[in-house]
Structure 1
Amino acid sequence: MRVYVPATWPMLRTLVKTGRLDPIGGTAFALTPALREAYTSGDDEELEYAAMNEAARASLRLLSVEFGLGEEGTPARRVVVAADLDVTLRPDLDDGAVRIAGSVPFEVIASVHIDTEEAEYAVRQAAGAVDAADMGDLDAEFLIGEAEDHDLAWYDPSEVAFLVDRP
């Protein structure tokens, strides 16, 4: 199953060093039966995109934690790693949530999706507002929307080492 793993820039650096990505809490997102049921229309490609967007929002949550811990040097860019894995469904969480057992080896990564530099301001603002948005704050939800207006750029896994090596 194609899964979308929320990540951050430091997680990509670790992937390059170790050849493995360790999803926080084993959580990822995919086109699950519950996600398919939640939408009244849409083909598989559109629903996969919805799963990737859920992972991108989860990446904002990870960035919020990193910034809260003083990791100000972390680029304010959402990161989503797409991989092909066996998973366990998580009906106790969001419709598209799945659990991954263990690390994601580099060999099963299909692509990596990252915000461009132009999105950094909006992403930093959204990371600071994600908790409030989850609690229904409409102003915070607006900031999340500003970040989500930026499309994630697609990268081949072979390009990740060059990306994280940039300043």
Structure 2
Amino acid sequence: MRVYLPSTLAALAAVHAAREVGPAPLAAYGVTPALREWYADGDLEELEYAALTAAARASLRLLAADGSARRVVLAAEVADEAVRWARDATDRALVEVTAPVPWQKIASGHVDAAEAEDDVRAAVAALAAADAGDEDARFAVDGAEGHELLWYATQELGDLLR
């Protein structure tokens, strides 16, 4: 199953050095039955994009603790039996990966361009207010989602970290 793991540049550096994402359990996002039901008209590509977007949103929360300003999502292929559905009504794509993900299973990385940093910082600063229902804060969080993540092959991720 393809899963999307939210991350940060600092966490990516640690993953790159360790050659795996872990320890398990890992919060990830994927095409779940709940996502399929909610987005019934979407084809697989659209559903995977929705899961990627959910992981990018989760990356914002990691950035709040990390201090950096570029969202990172790692796409990985994991065995179906290593994925548990979270059945979270608020996040239809949320899954739990029950085993560490070896570097060889990472298919690609998705990272904000430098031009997105101001909007990402604003989104991170607005998270708590957005969670509390503030519409202006939600607009700031949505501003980060207006930036498409850039695609990187796994062999390019080391260069990105330099």
TM value normalised by structure 2? 0.92
Q: Could you say which residue in structure 2 is the equivalent of 1:109?
A: 106
Identical pairs, percent: 47
CA distance in 2, matches of 1:31, 1:95: 9
CA distance in 2, matches of 1:100, 1:63: 21
> AA paired with 1:60?
L
Answer yes or no: is the 8 Å Cα contact 1:11–1:21 preserved in 2.
no
- In the TM superposition, what whole-angstrom CA distance separates every residue of 1:62-119 from its partner, at most 9, and x where no partner exists? 101223xxxxxx3x00000000113111103611110011321100001100000000
Q: Could you say which residue in structure 2 is the equivalent of 1:120?
A: 117
Q: Could you say which residue in structure 1 is the equivalent of 2:11?
A: 11
Within-5 A mapping of 1:154-165: 154-165=151-162
> AA paired with 1:80?
V
> AA paired with 1:42?
G
How many residues end up aligned between the 2 structures? Answer: 158
CA distance in 2, matches of 1:154, 1:80: 10
Q: Could you say which residue in structure 1 is the equivalent of 2:75?
A: 82
Is 1:134 the equivalent of 2:152?
A: no
Q: What SS does the aligned partner of 2:160 have?
A: helix
Q: What is the CA-CA distance between 1:24 and the residue it aligns to? A: 8.2
CA distance in 2, matches of 1:61, 1:135: 15
Q: What is the CA-CA distance between 1:128 and the residue it aligns to? A: 1.1
Within-5 A mapping of 1:133-152: 133-152=130-149
Residues 29 and 60 of structure 1, relative CA distance in 2, 3 Å threshold: same
CA distance in 2, matches of 1:128, 1:24: 28
Q: What SS does the aligned partner of 1:41 have?
A: coil
CA distance in 1, matches of 2:129, 2:86: 24
Q: Could you say which residue in structure 2 is the equivalent of 1:62?
A: 62
